[in-house]
């Protein structure tokens, strides 16, 4: 009797552990959403197909999910996410207490997803990132890469404006000494381990694509064709794009500050030379001349000073917001906890 009981227990134990083993590679796809009611149905359809096929091919665990992050949307996005979750357990969601911006929403999603998943992929809600690149990403992950960056192979489908500004942005970032993967946005695979390390980066001014290369580990890239936004309009107008670029530079590089110093030194040397020149003129008795020159210099130097102060102010602003250590996001609801 006892032996039977013991065998029975062993069987249960084996089943549990066996299940755990099979449960490897729980994939969570994290998608920040801000006013995305127009695209959510289609995105859901596409991802459902993808995940179902990956599960049936046994590439990922059946407990894998898509996690939508509602970033304080003003439209029906959150109620839509809840509806999708109620219909299909493959989809889940969290909702932030208010709009915190793409990067913070993404971070919130990554941090929640890492509690449930072994591997997390982040992508945009608008289907611009090709879902078929997920297979390749998982393959590279299986080969031992902790981070796989999705890199767009071309920008043929972008508008001319977006293409030139984006490309200029990457070049400028490089010049400023920020290490980022060229033409990579936030479509990437990360392992649970990497997300644990990401948590130790406490900065409030988030620029995730600058942080991941800093985390390190073995990484690789996957190329994909980026398509047009499926519906709705871009949540990144020029103003936001410029802010984002400025954040990227001032959060990662002190080069602009160094540049000001160099500029100051050069101007100082020039002004000494000028002083000597003016003294010589004075001694030679060639009185007042060059009014234009003086006025121009005043304008030029004041402009330069204002610019330099502005750049320094930008950094001081960063220090100000970092020292307050305010939370980067507040989660109001988590559908995973209701399940
Ligand atoms: N997004 C967000 N919060 C915001 C702005 C955007 O969560 O405050 C999300 C948006 O829903 C989308 C992603 O960030 O999933 C990228 O935005 P978008 O597609 O508008 O940017 P673009 O592709 O035009 O650069
Ligand atoms: Mg987009």
Cβ-contact 155, 166 below 8 angstroms:
yes
Answer with the residue of higher pLDDT: 99 or 14. Answer: 99
* Angle at CA of residue 183, ends 174 and 31, nearest 5°: 120
Phi and psi angles of residue 30, each rounded to the nearest 5 degrees, phi first = -100, 125
Q: Residue 152: CB within 6 Å of ligand 1?
A: no
- Residue spans of beta strands (DSSP E) within the chain: 27-33, 65-70, 91-96, 119-122, 147-152, 184-191, 219-224, 331-334
Counting residues of the chain whose pLDDT is more than 90, the rounded percentage is 41
Answer with the residue of higher pLDDT: 38 or 11. Answer: 38
45 by Cβ neighbours in 10 Å (0-12 / 13-18 / 19+) ranks as exposed
Binning pLDDT at 50, 70 and 90, where does residue 17 land? very low
pLDDT value for 7: 60
Q: Residue 129: CB within 6 Å of ligand 1?
A: no
pLDDT value for 316: 85
Q: How far apart are CA 235 and CA 33, in angstroms?
A: 10
Q: How far apart are CA 257 and CA 273, in angstroms?
A: 25
pLDDT value for 78: 95
At 113, list the tokens: 């997803």
- pTM for this predicted structure: 0.74
| Ligand 1: centre distance to CA 263 (Å) | 37
Answer with the residue of higher pLDDT: 93 or 299. Answer: 93
Asked whether residue 298 carries a pLDDT value surpassing 90, the answer given is: no
* Coil, strand or helix at 90: coil
Binning pLDDT at 50, 70 and 90, where does residue 9 land? low
pLDDT value for 13: 54
Asked whether residue 18 carries a pLDDT value surpassing 50, the answer given is: no
DSSP character string of 210-229 = HHHHHH-SSEEEEEE-----
pLDDT value for 207: 87
Pocket test for ligand 1, best of 31, 102, 186 (most atoms within 8 A of CB): 102
Tell me: the pLDDT tens digits for 143-163? Answer: 999 999 999 887 666 778 877
Asked whether residue 109 carries a pLDDT value surpassing 90, the answer given is: yes
At 25, list the tokens: 């590679």
pLDDT value for 24: 67
> Helix 238-252 vs helix 291-324: angle between axes, to the nearest 10 degrees?
80
267-280 mean pLDDT: 82
Nearest to 107 by CA among 333, 331, 337: 331
Give the number of residues written for the chain. 339
* Angle at CA of residue 55, ends 49 and 60, nearest 5°: 125
pLDDT, averaged across the chain: 85
pLDDT value for 33: 96
Per the listing, tokens 């207490």 go with: 97
pLDDT value for 279: 80
Helical residues (DSSP H) of 114-234, grouped into ranges: 133-142, 160-175, 192-198, 208-215
Answer with the residue of higher pLDDT: 288 or 266. Answer: 266
| Ligand 2: centre distance to CA 3 (Å) | 62
159 by Cβ neighbours in 10 Å (0-12 / 13-18 / 19+) ranks as exposed
Q: How far apart are CA 174 and CA 186, in angstroms?
A: 18
Q: Residue 236: CB within 6 Å of ligand 1?
A: yes
* Coil, strand or helix at 74: coil
pLDDT value for 21: 41
Answer with the residue of higher pLDDT: 294 or 145. Answer: 145
Tell me: the pLDDT tens digits for 44-97? Answer: 999 999 999 999 988 899 999 999 999 999 999 999 999 999 999 999 999 999
pLDDT value for 83: 94
Using alpha carbons, list the distances in angstroms from residue 171 to 168, 208, 230, 249.
5, 18, 28, 12
Using alpha carbons, list the distances in angstroms from residue 213 to 24, 190, 217, 338.
26, 11, 9, 35
> Helix 208-215 vs helix 102-113: angle between axes, to the nearest 10 degrees?
40
Asked whether residue 136 carries a pLDDT value surpassing 50, the answer given is: yes
Phi and psi angles of residue 154, each rounded to the nearest 5 degrees, phi first = -155, 170
Tell me: the pLDDT tens digits for 313-336? Answer: 888 888 877 887 888 898 888 998
pLDDT value for 2: 58
pLDDT value for 19: 46
Answer with the residue of higher pLDDT: 54 or 7. Answer: 54
Q: Residue 234: CB within 6 Å of ligand 1?
A: yes
* Coil, strand or helix at 150: strand
pLDDT value for 11: 54
Binning pLDDT at 50, 70 and 90, where does residue 20 land? very low
Q: Residue 248: CB within 6 Å of ligand 1?
A: no
Cβ-contact 251, 203 below 8 angstroms:
yes
Answer with the residue of higher pLDDT: 10 or 182. Answer: 182
């Amino acid at each position: 009797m006892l032996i039977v009981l013991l065998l029975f227990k062993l069987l249960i134990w084996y089943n549990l552990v066996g299940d755990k083993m099979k449960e490897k590679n729980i994939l969570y796809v994290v998608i920040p959403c801000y006013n995305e009611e127009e695209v959510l149905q289609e995105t859901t359809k596409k991802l459902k197909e993808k995940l179902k096929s990956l599960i049936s091919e046994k590439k990922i665990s059946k407990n894998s999910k898509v996690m939508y992050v509602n970033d304080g949307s003003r439209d029906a996005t959150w109620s839509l996410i809840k509806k999708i979750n109620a219909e299909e357990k493959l989809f889940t969601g969290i909702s932030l207490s208010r709009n915190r911006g793409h990067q913070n929403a993404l971070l919130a999603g990554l941090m929640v997803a890492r509690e449930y998943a072994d591997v997390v992929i982040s992508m945009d809600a608008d289907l611009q990132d090709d879902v078929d690149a997920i297979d390749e990403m998982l393959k590279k992950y299986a080969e031992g890469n902790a981070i796989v960056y999705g890199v767009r192979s071309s920008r043929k489908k972008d508008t001319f404006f977006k293409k030139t500004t984006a490309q200029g942005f990457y070049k400028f970032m490089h010049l400023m000494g920020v290490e980022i993967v060229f033409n990579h946005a936030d479509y990437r695979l990360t392992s649970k381990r990497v997300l644990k390390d990401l948590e130790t980066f406490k900065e409030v001014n988030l620029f995730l694509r600058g942080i991941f290369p800093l985390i390190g580990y073995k990484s690789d890239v996957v190329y994909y064709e980026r398509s047009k936004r499926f519906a709705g309009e871009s949540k990144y107008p020029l103003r936001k794009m410029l802010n984002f670029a400025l954040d990227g530079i001032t959060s990662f590089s002190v080069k602009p500050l160094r540049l000001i110093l160099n500029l100051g030194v050069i101007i100082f040397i020039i002004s000494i030379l000028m002083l000597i020149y003016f003294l010589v003129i004075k001694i030679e008795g060639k009185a007042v001349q060059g009014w234009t020159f003086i006025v121009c210099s005043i304008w030029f130097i004041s402009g330069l000073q204002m610019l330099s102060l502005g750049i320094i102010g930008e950094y001081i602003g960063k220090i100000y917001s970092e020292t307050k250590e305010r939370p980067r996001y507040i989660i109001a609801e988590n559908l995973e906890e209701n399940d």
